[in-house]
A and B are shown apart, each in its own frame.
Chain A
Amino acid sequence: MKKDLKEFKTFPSSVIKEIHRAANEGIYKIRGLGAKRKVPDFDDLVFLGASMSRYPLEGYREKCNTSVILGDRFAKKPIKLDIPITIAGMSFGALGANAKEALGRGASAMGTSTTTGDGGMTKEERSSSKYLIYQLLPSRYGMNPEDLRKADAIEVVVGQGAKPGGGGMLLGQKINKRVAAMRTLPEGIDQRSACRHPDWTGPDDLEIKIQELREITNWEKPIYVKVGAARPYYDTTLAIKAGADVVVLDGMQGGTAATQDVFIEHVGIPTLGALRESVDALKELNMHRKVQLIISGGIRTGADVAKALAMGADAVSIGSAAMMALNCNADLYREDYEKLGTEPGFCHHCHTGKCPVGVATQDPVLEKRLNPVDGGKRLKNYLSTLTLELQTLARANGKSDVRNLEPEDLAALTVEAAAMARVPLAGTDWIPGFKKY
Chain B
Amino acid sequence: MNFDLNKKKLREVNNYLQNIDRKDNKRKFELSNPQGQHAICVGLKDEIDVTIKGHTGYYCAGMNQKANITVHGNVGTGVAENMMSGKVIIKGNASQSAGATGNGGTLIIEGDASSRCGISMKGINILVKGSVGHMSAFMAQKGNLIVFGDADSDLGDSIYEAKIFVKGKVKSLGADCVEKKMDEKNINELNKIFKELNISEDPKKFKRYGSARKLYHFKIDNLSSY
Contacts and interface: CB of A to CB of B under 8 A. Distances in A.
B91 interface: no
Interface stretch (B118-126, B147-155, B165-173, B179-187): B118-126
Interface string A332-344: 0000000000000
Interface residues on chain A, size class: 20 to 34
Contact of B58 (A143, A192, A212, A216): A212
B133 interface: no
Contact of B120 (A139, A171, A190, A200): A139
Interface residues of B, number: 42
B216 A145 contact: no
B62 interface: yes
Interface in B194-211: none
B216 A189 contact: yes
Contact of B82 (A144, A185, A190, A200): A144
A-B pairs with lowest CB-CB distance, top 4:
A216-B43, A199-B78, A140-B101, A145-B63
A198 interface: yes
A148 interface: yes
Interface in A129-171: 139-140, 143-145, 148, 169, 171
B77 A215 contact: no
Interface in A167-181: 169, 171-172
A414 interface: no
A199 B123 contact: no
Interface stretch (A52-60, A203-211, A265-273): A203-211
A194 B135 CA distance: 14
A211 B76 CA distance: 15
B129 to A, nearest CB: 22
B78 A190 contact: no
B42 A216 contact: yes
Interface string A192-228: 1010001110000100110110011111000000000
Nearest to A172: B217
A198 B160 contact: no
A5 interface: no
A185 B160 contact: yes
A208 B119 contact: no
B81 interface: yes
Interface of chain A: mostly helix, strand, loop or mixed: loop
Given A145-B45, A208-B58, A200 B220 contact: no
B27 interface: no
A287 B141 CA distance: 41
Nearest to B213: A189
Given A143-B82, A145-B45, A199-B97, A212 B38 contact: yes
Given A184-B103, A199-B100, A215-B11, A208 B43 contact: no
Contacts of A184: 103, 122-123, 141-142
Contacts of B120: 139-140, 194, 198
A375 B117 CA distance: 44
B119 A144 contact: no
Interface of A: 26-27, 139-140, 143-145, 148, 169, 171-172, 183-186, 189-190, 192, 194, 198-200, 205, 208-209, 211-212, 215-219
A163 to B, nearest CB: 16
Contact of A212 (B39, B45, B96, B122): B39
A418 to B, nearest CB: 42
A215 B10 contact: yes
B126 to A, nearest CB: 13
Contact of B62 (A169, A171, A194, A212): A212
Contacts of B59: 199, 208-209, 212
B139 interface: yes
Given A27-B220, A215-B39, A216-B18, 11 more contacts: A140-B101, A144-B82, A145-B45, A145-B63, A190-B216, A190-B217, A199-B59, A212-B42, A212-B58, A215-B42, A218-B15
A27 B222 CA distance: 12
Contacts of B160: 185-186, 189
A124 B160 CA distance: 29
Contacts of B138: 198
Contacts of A211: 38-39
A169 B39 contact: no
A189 B39 contact: no
A124 B205 CA distance: 48
B216 A208 contact: no
A192 B226 CA distance: 12
B116 to A, nearest CB: 7
Interface string B35-77: 0001100110100000000000111001101000000000001
B158 interface: yes
A426 B57 CA distance: 55
Contacts of B142: 184
B220 A26 contact: yes
12 contacts: A140-B100, A143-B82, A145-B63, A145-B65, A186-B161, A190-B216, A194-B139, A199-B59, A200-B78, A212-B58, A215-B14, A219-B11
B84 interface: yes
